[in-house]
Amino acid sequence: MMMPRDVAGLIRVSLLWTAGLLLLFVVTGLTIRAYLQHLAAGELAIRSPNGVEQGLYLTIGGIEQWVQIRGEDRNNPVLLFVHGGPGSSTLPMSSGWRSWERHFTIVQWDQRGTGRTWGKSGDAIAPTMTLERMTQDGIELAEQLRTRLHKDKIGLIGHSWGSFLGVHIVKQRPDLFYAYIGTGQVVGRATFERAFELTIARLQALARSANNVDALAQLAPIASQPTVNEQNHSVTEKWSKALALPPVDSFDLAGAVSPPFMPDYSLLDWYYWNRGIALSDRLLRGVRSPMFQRDLASLGFEFSMRVLFIEGDQDYVTPYEPAERYFEQIEAPHKEFVLIHGGDHFIPFDRPDQFLAELLARVRPFADPSPP
């Protein structure tokens, strides 16, 4: 018969073995990750003699904000990518843009309260995360990029929240930009009302397929008057879970490098990334957000640069119809609306080559790469 002292010894030995195995597992995982990051760094490296590959903090709006600049030829035109989310830094998921860097200098920016920028300031920056302040941030960044990269004007791609912010940026300082490219374009409340209508329609289809009488009864009055409010949102959330509505914000990245193995992106960076999303989600999403409370039409429809919208006909997050109606009223030196068949909300990430083809055909020939 084992004595209590013997049992305690066995428990201690078991715990030590468990801790040792766990430590071995963690160390092995981190070693493999580091090796894959090393391989990815070689695959994504800019090796051309006139190329640029920089990651740095710039003082923008009185705080340090992270900017990445990559391209194979400094003489190429510059494209600033204004990310969506809000709060979703695109640094970990941009390996699919490697081919873009042969034709453009691509700038990515961790906006106020996002990613590495959040890492510098934390949640203390929350009171300054307004549409007005972030618009000025974008303008300050564009001005610094002109000087740093010796350009007269740059182009701006706005995705989702970044498309709403991006229009505010180019409308305030049109002299800084040769083109505006919107994708997953948000125009205001109409975008989210249309997305809500599509959600109700998808839920009703699932309910009919499942012969769910309760779901159909609760969804019917909302479908007849699809008002976006907390009560209706609660009903849709309930039946989205019960009917297993497929998510609309999942996508398959087309890049060569999976986000967990992007080079120079640490586990601490991932912590910053998640904290930034949480902060931005609290301040910049929902019915009280600038995107819901304001409308791009209030800024007027005149643009002094080329305007290109690249939209997916299967985008359920920011459906293309409101963007198309807004686009039809735009007055610009040249404008084009491209609808991608089968395209979703994440065309720059899951169809980067197709997106690049549109940029090369409709933007690149008209961009001025020359220094001022």
The predicted structure's pLDDT at residue 372: 44
**Cα–Cα distance, 162 to 168 (Å, whole number):** 10
**Cα–Cα distance, 223 to 204 (Å, whole number):** 9
Q: Which CATH superfamily, name and number, covers 52-190+249-366? A: Alpha/Beta hydrolase fold, catalytic domain (3.40.50.1820)
HSE at residue 280, side-chain half, CA atoms within 13 A, is: 26
- Spell out the per-residue pLDDT of the chain, length 372, in tens: 555 666 667 777 777 777 777 777 777 877 888 888 889 899 999 999 999 999 999 999 999 999 999 999 999 999 999 999 999 999 999 999 999 999 999 999 999 999 999 999 999 999 999 999 999 999 999 999 999 999 999 999 999 999 999 999 999 999 999 999 999 999 999 999 999 999 999 999 999 999 999 999 999 999 999 888 889 989 999 999 999 999 888 778 888 899 999 999 999 999 999 999 999 999 998 888 999 999 999 999 999 999 999 999 999 999 999 999 999 999 999 999 999 999 999 999 999 999 999 999 999 998 965 544
The alpha-helical segments, DSSP class H, found in the chain are 4-44, 115-121, 131-149, 161-172, 189-210, 213-224, 230-242, 267-284, 290-293, 320-329, 347-350, 352-362
The predicted structure's pLDDT at residue 369: 55
Contacts of 143 (CB under 8 A, 6+ apart): 176
Q: How many CB atoms lie within 10 A of CB 33?
A: 14
The predicted structure's pLDDT at residue 1: 54
Q: 158 has which bridge partners?
A: 82, 182
How far, rounded to the nearest angstrom, does the alpha carbon of residue 303 sit from its chain's CA centroid?
Answer: 24
Confidence (pTM): 0.92
Assigned token pair, 5: 């002292």
Contacts of 4 (CB under 8 A, 6+ apart): none
The predicted structure's pLDDT at residue 22: 77
The predicted structure's pLDDT at residue 34: 87
Assigned token pair, 295: 């409308």
